């Protein structure tokens, strides 16, 4: 993980076991399927950092070393923007704070 501070409600990627590792790989594959070439995140996701335990939301690390919160649709096909929905979080400190606030209001 790249300097993020997350609550215990997140599965880290790579995780602490095979199940969470497989889950992280599956989420990345799904996002690669869903992102159309004209989606702002297309080609910009460097990896999955964590997945929220009680929803499909994931924190991704972008190629510029900033972070975003993304919600896959799990359709297994290319989506039309703005899907999958996402929010830019910024650097590790800003992302950690934004995620803490998101957890309070989700």
Residuewise pLDDT in 10s, the chain (106 residues): 468 999 999 988 876 666 667 888 899 999 999 999 999 999 999 999 999 988 889 999 999 999 999 999 999 999 999 999 999 999 999 999 999 999 998 7
HSE, side-chain direction, 13 A CA sphere, residue 56:
14
HSE, side-chain direction, 13 A CA sphere, residue 57:
16
- Residue 91: the pLDDT is 97
Q: How far is CA 30 from CA 36, 41, 77, 80, in A?
A: 12, 13, 8, 14
- Residue 1: the pLDDT is 46
DSSP run (H or E) holding 93: helix 92-105
- Residue 11: the pLDDT is 87
> Helix count (H) and strand count (E) of the chain?
2, 5
| Among 3, 4, 77, residue whose Cα is nearest residue 34 | 77
Coil, strand or helix at 82: coil
Residue 73, φ and ψ in degrees, nearest 5 = -90, -20
């Amino acid at each position: 993980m790249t300097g993020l501070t997350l609550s215990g409600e997140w599965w880290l990627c790579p995780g602490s076991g095979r199940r969470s590792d497989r889950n992280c790989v599956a989420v990345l594959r799904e996002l690669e399927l869903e992102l159309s070439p004209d989606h702002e995140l297309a080609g910009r996701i460097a990896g999955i950092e964590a997945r929220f335990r009680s929803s499909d939301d994931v924190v991704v690390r972008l190629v510029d070393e900033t972070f975003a919160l993304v919600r896959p649709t799990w359709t297994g096909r290319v989506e039309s923007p703005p899907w999958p929905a996402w929010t830019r979080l910024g650097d590790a400190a800003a992302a950690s704070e934004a995620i803490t606030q998101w957890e309070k209001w989700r």
